[in-house]
Structure formats: structure tokens, C-alpha cells
Chain A
Amino acid sequence: KNQVEQSPQSLIILEGKNCTLQCNYTVSPFSNLRWYKQDTGRGPVSLTIMTFSENTKSNGRYTATLDADTKQSSLHITASQLSDSASYICVPTEGGQNFVFGPGTRLSVLP
């Protein structure tokens, strides 16, 4: 069965600090992987997407990495801001439209 594990489950950091969130998945066949950000009370919104041939992609202060061989991905947030407080969900895609959502990491950025 396709599975996604994320760590840590939750994280608290101070504003301005960096952090890295981890994702391990067993989706097969693997098509691509997205990281979603979900603010409290809102639906998830895509941050980055990587196909199996890409190993890093940046979107502003967010940098995602992907190792399709070890089935691992990470999301690095640089110079965190209060508005980064949210859940970050790793979503590998199996085939065409089968999005497999991870449990998410809850990030809290404190002033």
C-alpha cells in the first residue's frame, strides 16, 4: 500500500531561524512530488513540485529536495517568518491523478 511518512510531527522554531522537514514515501509507480502548505482553517496550497528527474527546486525561501532512489524528500525553509506557521504536507503522486497525502508536519514560528 502506498504510504507517506513525515517528520517531525510538529516543530517550533523562532522567527528568522531555518528548518528542514522530512518526507519518506513508498508510492509506486512514482510520478512527481509536491509539497503543500495548509494554513489553519484553509485548504492546502501547492508550494513546489518535482518530477523524478529533478533533485532540487526553490520557491522563494522554500527549497525542496528529492531523492527518487531512496524515496526521500525534504523541504527547507530559510529565514522563517511568522506567516510560515502552518502544516506542510508531502504529496507524492502515483501515476496520473492519485495524490497520496502525508500526515503533515505542523510548524509553529514564534516571535
Chain B
Amino acid sequence: DADVTQTPRNRITKTGKRIMLECSQTKGHDRMYWYRQDPGLGLRLIYYSFDVKDINKGEISDGYSVSRQAQAKFSLSLESAIPNQTALYFCATWTGDSNQPQHFGDGTRLSIL
């Protein structure tokens, strides 16, 4: 079983719809992250959470919201989806130790028509 699981893996929806992307982890890491990836732009941080009560905006948080339901679960919502939110979304976890890498889910490919 994957350590970091994202659902759904693919989603096609229409402009204006509310979308929720879910992430769950079995690694026991406190820190969780949501990134979006667009061609040529690398990974850009949307939101991050250091624990259940600590949620922070990243560089591109406009149009998104998050919920940290438990240490193991971190959900990303698009309240009213727009076409330029079409992208590949990744959830990641991290221990916070500088010599340890982040662990990524397999990604959610989201298309907004």
C-alpha cells in the first residue's frame, strides 16, 4: 500500500463546481503539503500544515482552501473551479528533519472545462 494516497487520481469537471481532493498518509508525519504542477513551472506550494491546528498559505493559495481533519488527512478544496486551475496536484508529507526528503502521493490530474 502507498504511504501517501491521493484520491481521486483523475477528475474532469466543469467551471464553477466545487471540488475536493483528498490526501491520507500512513507515515506518521506531522507536516503535509499541497502543490500544483504546471508544465514548465515546477512544483508550486498551495497550502501547508505543520499539525492539525497549524495551517498556512503557500505562494498560490488564492482560489483554494484546505482542511486538516487529522494528522493523517489533509484535503484541498476548490470552492468554484476555473479552467486555469487545470493542473497536476500533489500531496506530500515530511518529518521536518532537514536530512529527510518529502514523500509524495501519486498525484491528482484535474481538468476543468
Are A and B a genuine interacting pair, yes or no? no
